[in-house]
Structure 1
């Protein structure tokens, strides 16, 4: 699902887990050997929401509000297709059920409808003064936005029946910082709850009529709400909360118990395939070798597929996406605590992830003239790179013991030159890399010189 709450932009600070919750680890999901994925940097400056348009082979990315950053469009592998400069300052975006309209929440003050083919504006839904609008969800004949209080007196929902018309302002359900989701299989049905305080109350709301109507309400569905993911047929919703450490799903519209999809630690996101056959669940702060994302068959508690990101590379909330038949999924992760990198991972049963490789090489030549007793060495690399990744080089002459004489960082430059005082005989230079976390394979390359 797309991100359903504001990222750490200074507007809100999420309520953290208690010390007791942080020290309690639930059982891990059933053992499934995860495949490793390194991801590729997205062509963005920031990221607040992402949406899949499988029919057009696109990903739409909202970069947030306040800096005028435009809507970004990439292909399904994260390569830039377009920067729509006419549409900027976006906090959320979602395709209509028929895929013809891309709705974007813009500038905290309106929803804009874009023709999905041309990405030009076709309609606008202005928010009333005092309602800071940040999320959007179409359902049936209505367009719904979640808002926070900016002078209107309460947070809640804005429900439009037509563009340009005043929305119904609804505060009888979630009324602080709403998270919302809907599904084409249940037009007019909205699942909603508040983030920002705990415990969570989850609502199933009928918004199809003139006045919204609560169909079911369930208290204490967890703490620290992150997201909802309604199944395509509208019969089930998977909830992502900070605690407990598992993904509970509830029947719709009565919110009765359904499947519990095991996640083990730190739930972070959930998403459905378009045909409803597959549930993806994401986790945060996992160790190397532990899955960041699991794929489950609907109703099953045994995962069919798992993928692992690098140590310290954590899934962003609200960025899990799954294609129509569950054979390919997408997720965004960051390798730093300030989310200044945005790595797109693509993986699934029909789409192997980009695996970690160690590309390390060394070349050597003897100097000329006065430098003929000096070896000129060049070490090159393209992967891995990072502050914690180092290469080292040794020399061995005439089969003698190796001696390390230099160690360097695998930074983004990808190249380092150095010299070595070359003794007589045959000298073998060996450059190596070893990942402390055992995510990347060992790197090894040699070059030899005769003097």
Structure 2
């Protein structure tokens, strides 16, 4: 894990338990972070140096630093990074009241920096988001000002070609934007604004409204896992701090509340303080205790959710003929690709545990099918078993088919 410390000028490196591995110093105004596609290089926006640093994720040493030409400081240097269109894009302030997009191209013999894009949209340095599955889409949202501006760009040409824009987006607007996250396929963006008191989603195709996720006062963080699960956080002293949602479901299936050190203090989630592990197994959260103002990295192990297996079968089938079972896995968290279920057959439902006869691939929507050719007559029981995984509890379902004469 890499965490930026803009006021200390450091990048903190921890393991997945929160233990500090190294503190990389000399990173003035370390703000936004972005990881290369091969995960070997961490890029760091250095607001107070007016540059982007490259850190080797194996040696944990800075290997290069690129001047962005923006100048340095609160109303100049880069603060947010995203990799899209083969470039490193950065958001920065041009002055106290305006922001823009810039890009760093490292594909040639020499680095090339371009600035001054999106000048007509942002009143402060925009936050950026990109998705590996849609590498030519860049989403930017203003982080300063009372009302946010949200924009989607096609960057396939090397330039930020605006596809859609909205100011104060959503049915109830968007005041004081704190964070944004893009779905893995790039099809929707979820934003956390201090007001209204829920997280909003928009389609990136046209920035039309695409639902809401019911949280609480002062939304301030959002992160979307590779399988699409949404972690939505709030700066709330008397309500759950982190909520987990499946895409399109407005009710959370899991929440966490960070306990305070005493009845007279609070322990609150920080702005943009959420991130997922790449294998979806845990959520990381940065919190602050009001009694000491110290920051803590919280490691939230993702709970297994209940899973059901339904099996559909013909009431009867001739012996020595193909028989097809169909069914579906269902859970609050999606299954994605690469899952399988085991198929067991018991020729006499009153005797024994049956025989493992094969497995079936589970589609992304949870459905599966399996074809068998039973030889025994009478009632045959089929059991479909899902072994479970880090996100889903094990489950099984069964069905009985009457096998008739040929």
Same fold (TM over 0.5): yes
Q: 1:97 to 1:235 in 2, by over 3 A?
A: farther
SS of residue paired to 2:273: coil
* 2:263 maps to 1:328: no
Identify the residue that residue 40 of structure 2 maps to in structure 1. 100
Aligned equivalents of 1:173 and 1:97: distance in 2? 29
Aligned equivalents of 1:71 and 1:323: distance in 2? 18
**TM-fit CA distance, 1:70:** 3.1
Deviations 1:339-376 (A, max 9, x none): 7311221113349xxxxxxxxxxxxxxxxxxxxxxxxx
8 Å Cα contact 2:98-2:122 kept in structure 1: no
**TM-fit CA distance, 1:305:** 1.1
* 2:120 maps to 1:166: no
Identify the residue that residue 251 of structure 2 maps to in structure 1. 302
- Higher RCO (C-alpha 8 Å, min separation 6): 1
Aligned equivalents of 1:169 and 1:125: distance in 2? 17
Identify the residue that residue 284 of structure 1 maps to in structure 2. 235
Identify the residue that residue 63 of structure 1 maps to in structure 2. 5
* 2:206 maps to 1:260: no
**TM-fit CA distance, 1:86:** 5.7
- Picking from 176, 193, 198, the partner of 1:246 is 198
**TM-fit CA distance, 1:206:** 1.7
SS of residue paired to 2:39: coil
8 Å Cα contact 2:102-2:113 kept in structure 1: no
Aligned equivalents of 2:227 and 2:59: distance in 1? 26
**Bigger share in strand:** 2
CA RMSD of aligned residues (A): 2.4
SS of residue paired to 1:167: strand
Identify the residue that residue 89 of structure 2 maps to in structure 1. 144
Structure 1 range deviating more: 260-269 or 153-162: 153-162
Deviations 1:367-414 (A, max 9, x none): xxxxxxxxxxxxxxxxxxxxxxxxxxxxxxxxxxxxxxxxxxxxxxxx
Displaced runs of 4+ in structure 1, greater than 3 A? 85-89, 120-124, 324-327, 348-351
Aligned equivalents of 1:91 and 1:148: distance in 2? 13
Aligned equivalents of 1:332 and 1:350: distance in 2? 19
Q: 1:348 to 1:195 in 2, by over 3 A?
A: same
| Paired residue total | 287
Gaps of 5+ in 1: 1-58, 352-451
Aligned equivalents of 2:100 and 2:12: distance in 1? 28
Gaps of 5+ in 2: 261-265, 305-406
Q: TM-score, normalised by structure 2?
A: 0.65
- Picking from 207, 224, 231, the partner of 2:176 is 224
Q: 1:349 to 1:61 in 2, by over 3 A?
A: closer
* 2:268 maps to 1:314: yes
Identify the residue that residue 159 of structure 2 maps to in structure 1. 211
Structure 1 range deviating more: 123-132 or 69-78: 123-132
Aligned equivalents of 1:199 and 1:154: distance in 2? 13
Aligned equivalents of 1:232 and 1:122: distance in 2? 29
Aligned equivalents of 2:131 and 2:3: distance in 1? 20
* 2:122 maps to 1:201: no
Q: TM-score, normalised by structure 1?
A: 0.59
Aligned equivalents of 2:113 and 2:20: distance in 1? 37
- Picking from 98, 108, 125, the partner of 1:177 is 125
SS of residue paired to 1:239: strand
